[in-house]
Amino acid sequence: MAAIWSNPDFQFVLWAMVKIVVILFTMLTVVSYMIYAERKIAGHMQARVGPNRVGPLGLLQPAADVAKLFFKEEFTPEGANKVVFTIAPMMAVIPALVTFSVIPFGPQDAFRVTDVNVGLLVFLAMSSLGVYAITLGGWSSNNKYALLGGLRSSAQMISYELAMGLSCIPVLLFAGSLSLMEITRMQGHWWFVATPFGMLAFMIFMITALAETNRAPFDLPEAEAELVAGFHTEYSSMKFGLFFLGEFANVITISCIAVVLFLGGWNGPWLPEALKFLWFFAKLGVLLFFFIWIRWTFPRLRYDQLMNLGWKVLLPVALGNILLTSAYLWWRAQG
């Protein structure tokens, strides 16, 4: 028995497992309270109160929501592709969770699962897998509204993924590394968002982030006014819950990446080294509020406006930004 505990492989796996469980439960809590925050903020923005019945200030509302979802009837439409119909909601959550393994929440080893030297690529890879959930969910439901929602989302996510990837490149040019840990360290004195190139890249990144997570004003895949509920029309109970969870988990993941790439990660003044991770969560909170704020402020884009914005505005601007950044770095290297 003692031999097992001192085995380095075993210790490695155990330590990773502990971190995964901690991250998973933190994530679930943050997601449920983000939903609460969204409803509360939406309420106040529309001169309502928002949920206030379950518990003090409605704070137990998320628990009630989850319990309700669990006890609802699980329904699979006739003519649906059963296997794909079941896999799709899982595909919505898994990529978002995998990305958390490379995000450094604080300067110490304990605050990250792993530091691979291609951390940013892991994020891009996982966000490119996210499109499967919606496409497959929409197709397998055997429902025309769901199919249209899935169709729209595939086109939207593929288009905006490109601009998102390109908007990260100026950061890479400055940092000279794909490791998220290294990128954070490079911003010890000067966050990337404070440079003109970084500012532009940050704006492009945030717009594409809204589109990648299918949040308003880019929520065409669900567009309830035209498509009933879009790709998740036929989903009920916890399968619907997983899509919901996936959307919010994606918002959190993408905000974490934005914090690391542009807002200096855990860097910040005053706090001692051991508490630096609080800076990370403060910045994350600001970005999450930004997502909710945008959603209840802007109307939804029309489909052709969406495509024009992605291909004719964001993509050329992101490419130009890369050129300018490279030119600036070359000029600086020349002295």
The alpha carbon of 125 is separated from its chain's Cα centroid by a whole number of angstroms, namely 13
Give the list of residues 6+ apart from residue 186 with CB closer than 8 angstroms, or none.
174, 175, 176, 177
Decide: is 37 part of the binding site for other proteins (CB under 8 A): no
Q: Alpha-carbon distance 179 to 329, whole Å? A: 20
The residue from 85, 139, 191, 262 that contacts other proteins (CB under 8 A) is 139
Q: Alpha-carbon distance 283 to 266, whole Å? A: 9
Of 239, 284, 289, residue with least CA distance to 105: 284
Decide: is 45 part of the binding site for other proteins (CB under 8 A): no
- Smallest gap, in angstroms, from Cβ of residue 73 to other proteins? 27
Which of the ranges 27-35, 146-154, 222-230, 250-258 carries the binding residues for other proteins, by CB under 8 A?
Answer: 146-154
The residue from 44, 82, 144, 312 that contacts other proteins (CB under 8 A) is 312
Site for other proteins in 197-256 (CB under 8 A): none
| Whether the Cβ atoms of residue 251 and residue 215 lie closer than 8 Å to each other | yes
Decide: is 11 part of the binding site for other proteins (CB under 8 A): no
The residue from 178, 216, 256, 258 that contacts other proteins (CB under 8 A) is 178
**Nearest CB to other proteins, comparing residues 3 and 83:** 83
Give the list of residues 6+ apart from residue 90 with CB closer than 8 angstroms, or none.
133, 242
Which of the ranges 40-48, 120-128, 183-191, 241-249 carries the binding residues for other proteins, by CB under 8 A?
Answer: 120-128
Decide: is 177 part of the binding site for other proteins (CB under 8 A): yes
Show the tokens assigned to 208.
């594409």
The residue from 86, 302, 323, 327 that contacts other proteins (CB under 8 A) is 302
Decide: is 76 part of the binding site for other proteins (CB under 8 A): no
The residue from 161, 212, 222, 247 that contacts other proteins (CB under 8 A) is 161
User: How many CA atoms within 13 Å lie on the side-chain side of 217?
Assistant: 13
The residue from 30, 31, 80, 131 that contacts other proteins (CB under 8 A) is 131
The residue from 41, 60, 64, 84 that contacts other proteins (CB under 8 A) is 84
**Nearest CB to other proteins, comparing residues 81 and 236:** 81
Q: Distances from the Cα of 130 to the Cαs of 123, 136, 167, 201, 244, in angstroms?
A: 11, 11, 19, 22, 13
Which of the ranges 33-41, 256-264, 281-289, 298-306 carries the binding residues for other proteins, by CB under 8 A?
Answer: 298-306
Give the list of residues 6+ apart from residue 238 with CB closer than 8 angstroms, or none.
69, 70, 72, 74
Rg (CA), the chain: 21
Show the tokens assigned to 271.
């706090």
Given the structure tokens 């959550």, which residue do they identify? 93
The residue from 52, 128, 142, 326 that contacts other proteins (CB under 8 A) is 128
List residues binding other proteins (CB under 8 A). Answer: 9, 81, 83-84, 87, 116-118, 121-122, 124-125, 128-129, 131-132, 135-136, 139, 151-152, 154-155, 158-159, 161, 177-178, 302-305, 307-308, 311-312, 315
